[in-house]
Amino acid sequence: MDIIKKDIWSYLRNSDKKIIIYGMGNGADKIIDELEKIGVGIYGVMASDDFVRGQSFRGFTVKRFSDFEQENIIILTAFGSQRSDVMENILRLAEKHTVFAPDVPVYGDNIFNKEFYDSNRDKFQKVFEILADDFSKKVLENEINFKLSGKLKYLTDIFTDKDEAFRILDLGKNESYLDLGAYRGDTIEEFLGYTDGYYRHITALEPDRKNYKKLGKYTKNLRDTRIWNMGIWNSDCDMYFDMSLGRGSSIQVKGSKKVPVTSIDTLYQVQKISYIKFDVEGAEKQALLGGINTLRRDKPKINLALYHRSEDIFELPLLLHEINPDYRIYIRQHPHIPAWDMNLYAI
C-alpha cells in the first residue's frame, strides 16, 4: 500500500493559516478537542447561511462563510452528509479554498492519526491481503490516506453506489434476512427493493423505542416478519442505551436506561439465516462475536458498517475472516462526507 507520511494534525500544527470549523455538534467538539490537545487554536466557527441565527458554539459566534472569505483560512468540515447538494457545496468550496474533512470517530476515543496507523500497520496489511478484489484494496488504501490527510479527493475517487454492492451480495428471492439496527424500516425497504419483494423470512431488531414504533407501522402488513424492541450483543442481557441521538442512539457501558440485548446465535439456534445487515452504532464487533456459531454454520451474506470506530476498518474484517475463512470480503465506500457509509460486504 502507498500510504502518506504525515497526517492532517501535524499539518495544522505547522500551518500559519486561520482555522475555521464548518459545523456544530459532536463532530465539531471532537475536532476542536483534538486541536486543543496538540496546541492548535481555531479562529472561528461557520455554518451554512440557512443555519446562521446568531448562535454561539465553544465561545465563538457562528458566522457565515462570507464573513471569513477574505481571510487566509483553512476550513475543517465537522458534520456528515450523504446529500448530493451538500457534498457538491463542500466540493465547490474546496475548489477555491483549503478544505479538509478531519476524521474523528463516531464512537470511541481513537483518533485516526499517523501514530494510530503506525501502531496498527501489520493489521492493515493483513486486511489488504484478505480482500477479494483489487478495487477493495484501492478502497482500503484511499480510506487510510483520507483518514490521515482529510483530503477529499482520496474519498471521492472511491465512491460507488449501493447497486454495485448489492450485485456483489446477489440477493435471491428466498432470503432469510436479519436486520440489526432496523431504524424505521428503511433498510428493510432497501432489501425488498433488491429482491423484488420476495423473501423467506425477515427478523428486525431496533432498540430505540420511538424508532421501534415507526418500524412496527412500516412492517405491520409484511408477511413472515418479526420485529424486536431490543439490541444486539454477544450475549443475552440488559445493557444501558442512549436514546438521545435518534438514528445514532447506541448501547453504552453506563447510563440510566436499559434495554434487552440478544445475540445472533440465540436468535438462530435452529432456524437458518442467509443474509445479515449490521449497522449497530459501534456494537458491530460484539454482534459478530455473538454470532460465531451461526456464521460458521450458515455463512450468511454480510452487509456490515465499517466506520463507527477508528479500529473497525481492520478489526471487523480480520474478526470475520477468523470466524469463517471461507468468506470473500469486499469493502465499498458509498457517497458520504466524511467516510461514513463505508461498508464491508461478504459472501
pLDDT in tens, 191-225: 999 999 999 999 999 999 999 999 999 999 999 99
What is the structure's pLDDT at 299?
98
Q: How far is CA 159 from CA 118, 324, 331, in A?
A: 26, 28, 11
pLDDT digits (tens, 9 = 90+) for 267-318: 999 999 999 999 999 999 999 999 999 999 999 999 999 999 999 999 999 9
Kindly list the domain boundaries of the chain, sorted by start residue. Answer: 8-125, 162-305
At which residue does the C-alpha cell 414504533 appear?
Answer: 213
- Predicted confidence at residue 347, as pLDDT, reads 98
3-class secondary-structure state, position 301:
strand
What is the SS3 string spanning 56-92?
EECCEEEECHHHCCCCCEEEEECCCECCHHHHHHHHH
Instruction: Reply yes or no on whether the pLDDT at 54 is more than 80.
Output: yes
Q: How confident is the model at residue 9 (pLDDT cuts 50, 70, 90)?
A: very high
**Other beta carbons within 10 Å of 122:** 8
Q: Do domains 8-125 and 162-305 have the same CATH topology?
A: yes
CATH code reported for the domain at 8-125:
3.40.50.20
| H-assigned helices in 50-185 | 84-96, 114-119, 121-130, 134-149, 152-156, 162-169
pLDDT for 231 equals 95
The predicted structure's pLDDT at residue 252 = 58
* pLDDT, tens digit, 9 for 90 and up, residues 120-135: 999 999 999 999 999 9
> Tens digit of pLDDT for each residue in 246-273?
454 456 556 558 889 999 999 999 999 9
Task: Identify the pLDDT of residue 242.
Answer: 72
Mean pLDDT, all residues of the chain: 94
Confidence of residue 70 (pLDDT cuts 50, 70, 90): confident
Q: Which of the listed CATH numbers 3.30.420.60, 3.20.20.30, 3.40.50.300, 3.40.50.150 matches domain 162-305?
A: 3.40.50.150
29, three cell numbers: 467538539
